[in-house]
Amino acid sequence: MKLVAAGPEDATLLAAIHATSFPPGAAWDAETLATLLSLDGTFALRAGEKGFVLARQTLDEAEILTLAVDPAARRGGIGAALVSTALAAVGAAGAKAMFLEVAEANEAAIGLYAAAGFTRIGVRRDYYAPGSHALAMRRCLSAGENSNQSNDCK
Ligand SMILES: CC(C)(COP(=O)(O)OP(=O)(O)OC[C@H]1O[C@@H](n2cnc3c(N)ncnc32)[C@H](O)[C@@H]1OP(=O)(O)O)[C@@H](O)C(=O)NCCC(=O)NCCS
């Protein structure tokens, strides 16, 4: 599936995708997504109407803010393609590392991120709610490539 850049004008579509993937209260609405997408260094890639990744880059560090694939389209490689393309984009723009937080119970996302070369660097306790912890993960990369899975981030 072809991936395309998404901007604030796509916020309604992205919110609809997000709502398929997160429970009410955790899903991000169109206004929130449009605001994020208007910030310097924040960008999104979408796979048609099936999924998207939202990420942000500041100098040599980048972060995945959210990732969602419509349940009907899962296990088809869309999530992996979104993450690998985001990694390539931030690597080409000078990022040395990409970070994210993921719920420690989210086996699907942790499996995807591990397959993409992210490694666990810590735990943020009670990050989502009391008793709901997040894993912090990092993927090192060097400019212009997305296959460096070393973990020194130099
Ligand atoms: C996590 C998510 C984005 C994965 O999207 P996807 O398009 O199904 O992922 P892919 O098909 O590219 O899977 C890539 C790899 O991730 C891992 N993976 C994906 N879903 C998995 C699952 N349910 N259980 C275990 N591993 C899984 C596998 O290693 C998979 O490779 P494989 O299919 O060859 O085994 C999707 O499940 C989702 O939107 N979940 C809800 C929102 C969410 O949790 N977002 C992440 C928040 S940090």
Question: What is the distance, to the nearest Å, from the Cα of residue 153 to the centroid of all Cα atoms in its chain?
Answer: 19
Place 152 in a pLDDT band, splitting at 50, 70 and 90.
low
Ligand 1 pocket, residue 115 CB under 6 Å: yes
Testing ligand 1's pocket by substitution, the residue of 74, 85, 87 carrying the most ligand atoms inside 8 A of its CB is 74
β-pairing, 97-103 vs 42-47, is: unpaired
pLDDT above 50 (res 148): no
109 lines ligand 1 (CB under 6 A): yes
pLDDT score at 67: 98
If one counts every other C-beta atom within 10 angstroms of the C-beta of residue 45, the result is 20
Provide the pairing of β-strand 61-69 with 51-58: antiparallel
Per residue in 37-63, pLDDT (tens digit) is: 999 999 999 999 999 999 999 999 999
Nearest-CA residue for atom 17 of ligand 1: 112
pLDDT at 153: 82
Structure pTM?
A: 0.94
Tell me which residue has its CA closest to atom 33 in ligand 1.
Answer: 75
Structural domains for the chain: 3-140 (3.40.630.30)
